[in-house]
Structure 1
Amino acid sequence: MEQLRSNLDEDASGEAIAKLEKFRDRYSRFHVSTIVSQEIAKLRAQVKGRFHVARELAREGELERAEKIIRDLAHHFAATDDGRWAKEFLGFDFYLWKANHLIRDQRFDEAEESLNELFKKYPAPARISEAERMLDAITQAQAGRARTVQAQARSASVQLQVLLRSYYRKHRRYPGALALDQLDLDQPIVQSKIKGNLSAISDYQFSDGGFSLITVAKDGKTRFRVTQGEITAVD
């Protein structure tokens, strides 16, 4: 029984009740079935107010938990007030609600995906302009974030270039190896900033005459070639 309890998801009460009912029916001739019936009754008693609990969880940033509760209510408790509210909410409003919370958490790609799901399900919704405005905001936010990531990567590339020049002046040679997790250039604070703005350093080559490497931004797409004399974007 304890093992069964540990496998129940408190955010999916309907699913939990279904599992308990199956267990109870299987062992209906045993005393444990009475205990299971009591557990089922407790779970059913907790359904009232769960829809509002889910909305509050979303406000606190726990969107995945909130969505799980709402879908569980709509599927398993359609005859209750909370189930009816959940089922109604899972229509047009749900996608806007989800996208809005994802935007707040700066999860723009997921927000765009939610709105695209809405357009597929409701090709001509009455509130299409609201969804379009939200999609416009996502596009602008994505562009702004991309510019920030690119600027941070370029800044890190400049810092890395300066550190390598300084390292050469001090040691009369360039490092034998260089990677993001292998930065040992005598400047730990600057190195920490570089690591914070890049996802990788690759293709490092050096000679007495100079060096060449590729820096990769946090988005994994933006790349710069860094040499002792210049920094250029890589297509």
Structure 2
Amino acid sequence: MKTDAKGRGGRRTVGGERGAEYQRPKLGKRVAHKERTKEKILKAALELFRKKGFESTATKEISRRAGIAEGTLFNYFRTKDDIALYFFERETEFVIEWYQGQKRLQKAPLEEKLFAIIQKQLEYLSTYESFIGSVILRAFQPASKLIPLSVESQYLQSRYLKFIGEIIELDIGNQGMGLLSSFGPHMFWAFYMAVLMHWLNDHSKNKEATLAFLDRGLKIGVAIANGRYSNGQR
């Protein structure tokens, strides 16, 4: 199992630059203040979304809960969709940073890595399950920034796909798994969406049915991509 791959510029690491582990850039005081304000708004919004629902919460209520003027809120987020997008941006950053600290996991088989990543994402989302369900419904409304083809959603998706693509590339090395290397990240994204929908409708204890679905799906998917799966395989 290859855990890294050599490139012209040196060793590559997932989510970072060649030759160095990814580190979040240090923020100036002004930028740090803006980030703290955005986090405060997000925290207030999530509390209200959980209590009242996404659609029923007004921006005026969010600003009041955050202790800022509504005009200040609009300086950071024009709509509730923008707040939701920021939530998913933070989720993406969280899972990337978490994975980079999992040195033992990075040496595991590919399906084990991908299982752990999705499981960690579901853990992150678990507190906000009703909010996630509302956001998915919102994503079917053409005017929403949350629709998959919006510029904002595409940016987040491309960032996540780059992260997954690097994991797949580092794992397969020079083995030349054409299907997996070319379409793997997009296949994984579609599978993750299916897992998320399963998770939202899973009433089993500790979402065990979703974890079983996730485990089986990844094993079959990776095996098919590697040309190792047959109908008789279990």
Instruction: Indicate whether the TM-score tops 0.5.
Output: no
Structure of greater relative contact order (alpha carbons < 8 Å, 6+ residues apart): 2
TM-score (norm 2): 0.24
More strand, by proportion:
1
Quick check: which has more Rg, 1 or 2?
Answer: 1
Using structure 1 for the length normalisation, give the TM-score.
0.23
Q: Which has the higher helix share?
A: 2
